[in-house]
Amino acid sequence: MRMEIDLASAGAEVRASTRWGHEDRTAPHGLGSDLDVQALGRFADGVRAAAAAARPLDAGLLDTAQALHRAVLRGLDPLRSGLAAAPGNPLLVRLWLLDPKLQAVPWEALCRPGEAMGFWASSPALLPVRGVTTSEPWQPRAVRGALRVLAVAPLGSAGLDALRGALGERIDAGEVEWLDPLVGPAARVAGVFDRLRRDPIPHVLHFVGHGGQDHGIPVLRFADEDGDARWVPAELLAQQIQASLRSFLRLIVLEACEGARPSAFASAAEILARTGVDAVVAHLWPVKADVARVCSAELYRALAAGYQSKGDVAFSMNEARRAILVAFDGSAEAFSPVVYLRGPESVIFDFKGRKITPPSPRIQATPIARGIDPALGRMLGKPFSLLLGDRSREQRPLISSFRDKLHKELAKAAAPASPGMSMSSLAQRFALHRGAPKLETEFQKTFRGGTPPPPFIEALARVVGPGVHTTLLRHPWLEQAVAEKHPRRGIYVFQQGDQGLTMLCREAGGTDWEELDAPPETIDLEQEIVLFRPYGGYTPEQVFVRPLLTEDDYQLGLRDLDGALPRDLANAILSTLSYRPALLLGMSIVTGHHRLLLHRLYPRGVPRGSLAVLDPDDLERELWKKGSGLPGKNEGLDDVIEASMDELTEAFEGEDGA
């Protein structure tokens, strides 16, 4: 079943007309003075602002969404205005938006009256798409095996790791074939065009990068040429697809900022759909990286499982948007992804007669040490993000010495502290009575010096691979050990301080650390290592940066990375953190500043597959399993094990992460 809706402006007035299947189109009717061009612009701005703040539509926006539903469908009989459809046979609603101002409106956010979540974007009975005028022929593409996906990432592979991980189940089931992606220099425009001419030809092209407009012309950024950014008109890419891939490539996913942003020359998505492929998924406005990943993962899950979606891109897109609403508490970010459709039907892949052959299972690495839980072996056999806490046995003598010094000084000041007081409370009391400068002086007396890293840290550095890792140690032990164990990788250290981020870089093959005046534009998280030091202390060059010690320090000094780094770099780092399983060592769930940091790093919850390794003396295993105090929806970790430092050292020394 299909319904066509024309939406056009006549001066300030917006008019709608409909056609049901092959019936005649109804006479245009106005949406009303309360829903004119300016009012729709305000609605679009409001939905975009809600998406930017990751919040649901407020009452006013929801009222407008419901009023638009009534106005657009005014004049249809009750059955049709209710958009009733037979079970399992949803209605395709193709929107024809001839005015760029109307293309900027998130029509997918229209909502059935009387329903708080009755959005077209997530409806199981109604599938909204945006129509594209074209004379090109159309028919579903037969797929007899796995759905082949080719990813193009001109700015590095940080986002691809998360996407590849999100598609893991589909790949392992044989439903999706992950072709070798084009990353960095391989994603120059000439290289991309050459790859598109060669087998295996993809069914889906997934672009992860930047989109924009050059004098009103939609452009996409490919890999730099001779150090200069290369912006290519979307129309040029469409022509290349039309010339060599029209009978194969059926879908393009633009995971780029504003890929669906309208212009006088149409959006990049509309241009690609008009001349190149059957359907294009793009975003009306920028969304956070973790939202884009959830959208893509759910889109492919539904699309590749042919028995559910029957190769229907509109059905799959509604599944993806519904997943965003569920995962991000009803956030308006779900209304950013839209579908441009070239043909009259949204089934773009024909899976009849399909035969799926799962790939050979991968062999997971296992720890060498006997008695270590297999969960640690599984963790070490795949990319992960380390969170190294400050509760290791190697730190305890220094902490005890520092604690004793503070107690003695407070006793001299006639302000003795309770012996059982936590370290942060003790430091807070000392700062209030003796002053913050005196506290820093006592810290430096205890912690300064080139103390070599303990064997545990050196062994751990072996398995720290490319990606993003966090250390709470005040000594630069982990940074120094990682630099020693991975001399051929670029390493970045970001350390928070009073004056913002202190940033250091040790280039691949280099020996010296260089302090950066500004953060790099991009980092290849598939090849390079980022070490984040939120608690401060000594840098790899033994330069002192005021550490977080007191209760006030932790409350006021723990800042979000996305406010301290360029947007694209922050998105890449936070995306990696949000999807890669976390290996948590030396952390305590009953320590307040540890819980606070977990909420800063993982605001939506610790990633699936994460593992906490606890000292047997900590007695916190059940708390971690229950998820008490963890961010997100208080779900426990996938695995929680207990192991001594000696056992971990033996396990890590048996692995090779270089």
Per residue in 254-290, pLDDT (tens digit) is 886 544 455 444 588 888 888 768 899 998 888 887 8
pLDDT at 259: 46
Instruction: Give helix 59-72 / helix 37-52 axis angle, nearest 10°.
Output: 140
Which region among 41-45, 70-74, 570-574, 613-617 has the lowest average model confidence (pLDDT)?
Answer: 570-574
pLDDT at 147: 85
3-state secondary structure of 505: strand
3-state secondary structure of 538: strand
Cis peptide preceding 137, ω within 30 of 0: no
How many distinct helices (H) and strands (E) make up the chain? 23, 28
- Tokens 């009849």 found at: 352
132 versus 632: the higher-pLDDT residue is 132
Mean per-residue pLDDT of the chain: 83
| 8 Å CB contact between 201 and 245 | yes
Q: Provide the Cα torsion 416, 419, 424, 429; round to 10°.
A: -10
Mean pLDDT of 219-246: 78
What one-character DSSP code corresponds to residue 16? Answer: E
CB atoms inside a 10 Å sphere around CB 37: 18
Q: Which residues pair with 584 in a beta bridge?
A: 387, 612
Q: Which residues pair with 87 in a beta bridge?
A: none
Retrieve residue 424's tokens. 């942060």
Q: Does the pLDDT value for residue 246 go beyond 60? A: no
CB atoms inside a 10 Å sphere around CB 642: 16
pLDDT at 130: 95
Q: Does the pLDDT value for residue 654 go beyond 70? A: no
Q: Does the pLDDT value for residue 161 go beyond 50? A: yes
| Tens digits of residue pLDDT in 462-518 | 999 999 999 999 889 999 999 999 998 999 999 877 677 889 999 988 889 999 988
With CA atoms as reference, report the closest residue to 382 among 371, 368, 366, 369.
Answer: 366
Query: Quick one: what percent of the chain has pLDDT higher than 70?
Result: 86
Q: How far apart are alpha carbons 335 and 312 in whole angstroms? A: 19
Which region among 3-17, 79-93, 227-241, 572-586 has the lowest average model confidence (pLDDT)?
Answer: 79-93
With CA atoms as reference, report the closest residue to 621 among 375, 287, 291, 282.
Answer: 375
Retrieve residue 472's tokens. 């709470």
Residue 468 identity:
V
Q: Does the pLDDT value for residue 1 go beyond 70? A: yes
3-state secondary structure of 363: coil
| Tens digits of residue pLDDT in 419-468 | 888 889 999 999 999 999 999 898 888 887 656 778 889 889 999 999 99
With CA atoms as reference, report the closest residue to 276 among 234, 316, 218, 233.
Answer: 234
Where does the pLDDT of residue 118 fall: very low under 50, low under 70, confident under 90, or very high at 90 and above?
Answer: very high
Q: Are strands 13-20 and 2-10 parallel, antiparallel or unpaired?
A: antiparallel
CB atoms inside a 10 Å sphere around CB 432: 13
Q: How far apart are alpha carbons 407 and 412 in whole angstroms? A: 9
Q: How far apart are alpha carbons 242 and 2 in whole angstroms? A: 27
What one-character DSSP code corresponds to residue 562? Answer: G
pLDDT at 361: 47
| 8 Å CB contact between 394 and 456 | yes
Alpha helices in 305-395 (DSSP H): 306-309, 313-327, 374-380
Mean pLDDT of 78-91: 58
With CA atoms as reference, report the closest residue to 152 among 198, 199, 202.
Answer: 202
Q: How far apart are alpha carbons 549 and 255 in whole angstroms? A: 41
Mean pLDDT of 217-231: 78
State the sign of the Cα–Cα–Cα–Cα dihedral 510, 162, 140, 126: negative
pTM: 0.62
With CA atoms as reference, report the closest residue to 159 among 194, 202, 117, 207.
Answer: 207
Domains and CATH numbers, the chain: 2-131 (no CATH), 141-350 (3.40.50.1460), 374-394+454-652 (no CATH), 402-447 (no CATH)
Task: Write the CB contacts of 481 (distance below 8 Å, at least 6 apart in sequence).
Answer: 453, 457, 458, 460, 461
pLDDT at 604: 77
Query: Quick one: what percent of the chain has pLDDT higher than 90?
Result: 33
